[in-house]
Structure formats: structure tokens, C-alpha cells
Structure 1
Amino acid sequence: MSTDVHATERAAGTDWTREPERSNAVALRVMTWIALRCGRRVARWVLHPITLYFLLFAAGPRRQSRRYLGRVLGRPARLADAYRQVHSFAATILDRVYFLSGRMDLFDVSVHGESLVDATLAEGRGAFLVGAHLGSFEALHVVGRTRPALRIAMVMYPDNARLINDALAAVAPDHRPEIIALGRAESMLAIRDWLDAGGLAGILADRSLPDGSSARASSMSLPFLGQAMDFSDGPFRLAALLRRRVVFMAGLYLGGNRYEVRFAPLADFSERAADPAERERLIRAAVQAYVERLEALCREHPYNWFNFHDFWREDAR
């Protein structure tokens, strides 16, 4: 009995979809009020005690942060490194309030590869925007400001961020993010319909899906920051099934009020593969290209990756 219980706990530890949300509804409302009433400069000062609280009382995420930083920095991570990463994460959450409120004037955002988005929109078939828990996906609102046809739905497990999504939706009810929930019978049809209407489907693909979560998806073991890790091919297999283009997107936080949005081609499954073997080769090549690009960006901006869970499954071992 005891062995079974511990085995279950270890398995649950590797399933990030079952981890409880760490947000606090009251704290989110207070922080949102400060952000809107007192301005961004005052709100950013409040991020320091929030960051300190997180580091002191969230032992698990603190441990995972230092493990990741040790790998990407190539040296043992100091507490100051973890503080910088968590503070960057808190800053991007705060800035989501302003992005959703349309306060683009507060930010200095550079965009690279936007012609790829224009070409994708011109096709009118929709496409997948594949990103990671890297920087801020909401920085994409800067691109959408000059492109009325840009419609994005996040394809995600919503329960892990329900409180924060509700708080942000209250800030700008007219700009409530479109979300297509994964893990439901109608998810596939909802994604297809959204794409057929010319929308873009955003997916964060840097977390492997729990075992048994999808009959179609499988995991691929690829080198990442010095160790082989499992990455789900689900987003790319879905793109191949629906015959869509896949574009990499990252909204990198550069500190202060500066962001950099990057777009880059990953794969184009518009044409049907000649045979199943060719399709599998194309899917594998797309996943590998994604992992290589993610690793390069983590090394370039190490404090931008906000994956505070047991990514390398060291706790499970």
C-alpha cells in the first residue's frame, strides 16, 4: 500500500496538468487595482515583495528554477539568479494587464519576422503559432494593433491558470482572450473550425503531455540543455492532420518596458505527405527544429523561461 501511494505521488509530480494553481484571487485583484490606479512604475515596486514571498514560500518552484538556471548558465545558480527569473516572470504578468488594456504606449516593442504573419493571414487558412513559456505571449497584441484580421485563440489546459485568466478578463472584458480547452471531446473540431475561419491557434509546446492524455501524440527524446528530454509531438501532429503552417513565436522580455517579438517558420504541412513515413519524418523534423530554437533562446535570454515545474523529472527519480 505504501509503495503504491508513493508511486502515485511521483507520477502526479510529473503531470503538470494536475498541479494546483499557485495564484491567489485576492492578491491578483489587489495587484490589478494598483496597476490600473497607481500606474506601472508604482506597480513594479510591488513586484519585489511578491518575488521575495514566492522565493521564500514556494519551495518546489524555487528548486526547479535553480535547477534550470544551473543548466542554462553552466554554473550553480545563486539565489540572486532565481530572484531575477521570478521577478521577470512577475513583470510579464503585470504587463499583461496593460497589454490587454491596450496601453501599448507604455512599451518599447521591436518585432522581427512580421512579414511571415502577413503572408499567413493572406492565405486565409489559419495556422498554428507554436511558442513556449518564454517571455510574454501577450506582447503579440502589439502586432495585432495594426492587423485587424489577426485573431488568436490559445489552445491550452485552462485549469492551471483559471484565476489569473479571470482576473485579466475582468480588466478588459471586451478583449477577453479566446481559449480552446484541451482534453475535451470537442477540442479537435473547435480548433479546426477556428482555423477554417482564418484564425491563428497558439500553443505552448515546451511541456510534454502526461501519459495517456492523447491517443495521437507521442513523445520524442531530444537533447535539451545538456540532457535528453521528452517533448510531445502533439502540436505538430495536429498541424499535419489539419494540413496547416506552423510558425514559431516568442515575446521576449528584455527588462524595463522593452520586449522583442520574434516570428520564424517551423514547418508547413499544407501539402499532404506522399506517404506515412514521409509525414513522420516531417513531424520529427519540426519538433527537432522547435527544440533547437527553444534551447537557443533560453541560452540567449536565460531568465525568460518560466517553467517552474519538475521539467527534467528529477523529483520523480
Structure 2
Amino acid sequence: MTRPATPSWLRQQERSNLAILRLMVWISLTFGRAIGRVVLYGITAYYVLFAPRARHFSREYLHRALGRWAEWSDGFRHVFSFASTIHDRIYLLNDRFDLFDIEVIGADPVHELAAAQTGAVLIGAHLGSFEVLRAVGRGRAGLKVAMLMYEENARKINATLEAINPAATQDIISLGRMESMLEARDKLDQGYLVGILADRSLSDDPTVDCEFLGEMAPFPVGPFRLAAMLRRPVFFMTGLYLGGNHYRIHFEALADFTDTPRSERDAAIRAAQQHYADRLSHYCRLAPYNWFNFFDFWQKK
């Protein structure tokens, strides 16, 4: 187990994410989705041309996911997919489900836990759109979703989105506070699905190396330790962007810490992390332009 230096994704402070988000808010509300998607091509070209570090790390990831040399067009598709999910977030937050074709796979066990007021932990990644799940949850009775986020990112995103739909901020739990786990437990006791992304860490988060896309890479322990302490079933979740207005949400059972003895917890967490990395590898290969990695994830530099 290691404690890495401040990761490059945090040093970059999600610059591209927030910049694209703010611009897309204005374009989307002013001109609508069709015009906004035209503008996305210009925004994507700008980032591909003038963000050389992001372009380099995008190509390194795509080489692994595609199993071949990544061309310039692959990098463009990667950034365009990223921008598209951010653009669509504006409409999803405003319950404009009529604009989208959303398919859901493997949700029956999750619905059963929600209906029984048991709740479950959803562990995802920066893969596709987590917002599409939260949006679908708001539109379906009995499926409520709360999101655990790093406090600084939650503050920035909430500040940007509050002008669009203030209700969208109410189901976000900020990480890094003593009350975070208690708030998550309370949500679970109310039948919520509590989601957290587990493919990035803060500087003081312990990590372990897992095999991912054919090579060892560091993954944070915190999300899995939290799930184990909450003693809940854990599902891998991703909302893949398939182009146009199409999304496909996948749920897969990942682990169940409900009855895990304390003496076996560390081994169960380690097994769950590798299972998570395996499923993330699978979906990165299935939909390679969906994992929004624009930094040195394998820490080779």
C-alpha cells in the first residue's frame, strides 16, 4: 500500500471539465441541444490542439484500451465524448429525459434493495456519465441516488449547476468530513443508492496497485473501505455514452460486505478492488472513448 504524491488530476483541478461545463451551460440554455452539439466540435478541436499534455496521456490510455496505436482521430473522439456527456448533463439535470434514449441493464437487484429500504453502494469511475444514473433515478419511483464527491469538486460543480437546477445539489455528500460516512449511512437506511467514483485519489489517500488494462496501476482504497464499514452490497455502475442521444447504464454485483467479519475485511476489500479494476478494464475496452483519463494514470512520468 502506498501514499502517492499529489496526483496530476488534482493539480490540474479538473480545469478542462469545469471550463467546458461553464461554456456548455450558456450554449445549451441559449441555443438548445442541437446547436450546442455543433459547437462541441469547435471546443473539442481547441482542446485537442492546445492541450498537449492531455493529448499525450489520452493517447497512452487509448493505446491500451484499443490494443493499437491511437490516431489523432481517436483522440478527437475521446475529447468529444467527454464534452458530450458534460453537455448532456445540463438537460439531464433539468429532467429532459425525452431528449435521450437510455437503456438500463442489470438493475433488478438494485431495485429490489431500494424497495426493501436496504440501499446499496454504487462504485463507478470517470467512465461515461454518472449523471445519467442520478437523472434516471429522479425520474423513476423508488430509485433514489446520492453521490459522494471530493468536497472541492462538489463545491465547484454545485456552484456552476445551482443556477440551472438548485434541486440537483441536494443529493451530493461531500467527502473529507467526519460526518460524511454518517450522512451516507442515513441515506442508505432510507433506501438510497450511494455512489462514489473509485478511479482517482487525493494526495493523502492510500492506494494499492491493481492490474488494469494489462499493467499495474494505483487505485484508492477509501471507497471500498467506506463500503465495508457501511456493511452494504456493492455494485459496479457505469452509464456509457454510445453517441448521439444514446446511453446504456450497466449494473454488476461487485462485492457484499453485509456479513464480512472484521478479521476478513482487508482481504475482502483487496479482492473487491481487483474485481473493480477488471470490470473497469472490460468497459474501457468495450467503450474506449468513455473513460475520461487525461493525466498520467499509470504514473510513469
User: Shared fold by TM > 0.5?
Assistant: yes
Work out whether 1:77 is the aligned partner of 2:70.
Answer: yes
- Equivalent residue letter for 1:245: P
Instruction: Choose from 205, 212, 227 the match for 2:215.
Output: 227
The equivalent of 2:232 in structure 1 is 244
The 3 A distance-change label for structure 1 pair 280 and 187 is same
Instruction: Choose from 82, 86, 90 the match for 1:93.
Output: 86
The equivalent of 2:242 in structure 1 is 254
Q: How many residues align?
A: 298
CA contact (8 A) 1:17 1:160 kept: no
Per-residue CA distance 1:245-294 (angstroms, 9 max, x = gap): 11111100000111001111111111142x51x22222222111111110
The 3 A distance-change label for structure 1 pair 189 and 99 is same
- Runs of 5+ unmatched residues, structure 1: 1-9
Of 91-100 and 196-205, deviating more is 196-205
Instruction: Choose from 159, 169, 173 the match for 2:152.
Output: 159
The equivalent of 1:3 in structure 2 is none
Q: How many angstroms does 1:163 deviate by? A: 4.0
Work out whether 1:288 is the aligned partner of 2:281.
Answer: no
- Equivalent residue letter for 1:233: V
CA distance in 1: counterparts of 2:150 and 2:294, whole angstroms? 16
SS in 2 for 1:11: coil
SS in 1 for 2:242: strand
Give 1:290-309 correspondences, 5 Å limit: 290-309=276-295
- Runs of 5+ unmatched residues, structure 2: none
CA distance in 1: counterparts of 2:241 and 2:170, whole angstroms? 20
For the aligned residues, what is the CA RMSD?
Answer: 2.2
Of 36-45 and 140-149, deviating more is 140-149
The 3 A distance-change label for structure 1 pair 268 and 11 is closer
CA distance in 1: counterparts of 2:17 and 2:282, whole angstroms? 33
The 3 A distance-change label for structure 1 pair 87 and 162 is farther
CA distance in 1: counterparts of 2:156 and 2:45, whole angstroms? 21
SS in 2 for 1:251: strand
TM-score, structure 2 normalization: 0.90
CA distance in 2: counterparts of 1:313 and 1:161, whole angstroms? 25
Work out whether 1:203 is the aligned partner of 2:189.
Answer: no
- Equivalent residue letter for 2:166: P
Of 30-39 and 245-254, deviating more is 30-39
Instruction: Choose from 30, 39, 55 the match for 1:37.
Output: 30
The equivalent of 1:171 in structure 2 is 164
Q: How many angstroms does 1:23 deviate by? A: 4.7
The equivalent of 2:5 in structure 1 is 11
Q: How many angstroms does 1:141 deviate by? A: 4.0
Work out whether 1:135 is the aligned partner of 2:128.
Answer: yes
Q: How many angstroms does 1:150 deviate by? A: 2.4
The equivalent of 2:181 in structure 1 is 188
CA distance in 1: counterparts of 2:118 and 2:42, whole angstroms? 46
CA contact (8 A) 2:227 2:234 kept: yes
The 3 A distance-change label for structure 1 pair 162 and 80 is farther
CA contact (8 A) 2:127 2:239 kept: yes
- Equivalent residue letter for 2:270: R
CA distance in 2: counterparts of 1:185 and 1:61, whole angstroms? 34
CA contact (8 A) 2:133 2:249 kept: yes
Q: How many angstroms does 1:34 deviate by? A: 2.4
CA distance in 1: counterparts of 2:33 and 2:268, whole angstroms? 45
Per-residue CA distance 1:134-156 (angstroms, 9 max, x = gap): 00011114532553332222112
CA contact (8 A) 2:8 2:295 kept: no
The 3 A distance-change label for structure 1 pair 24 and 109 is closer
The equivalent of 1:4 in structure 2 is none
Q: How many angstroms does 1:24 deviate by? A: 8.6
The equivalent of 2:46 in structure 1 is 53
Per-residue CA distance 1:68-88 (angstroms, 9 max, x = gap): 011111222222111100000
CA distance in 2: counterparts of 1:24 and 1:155, whole angstroms? 18
CA distance in 2: counterparts of 1:74 and 1:200, whole angstroms? 35
Q: Percent identity at matched positions?
A: 53
CA distance in 1: counterparts of 2:9 and 2:220, whole angstroms? 14
Q: How many angstroms does 1:164 deviate by? A: 4.1
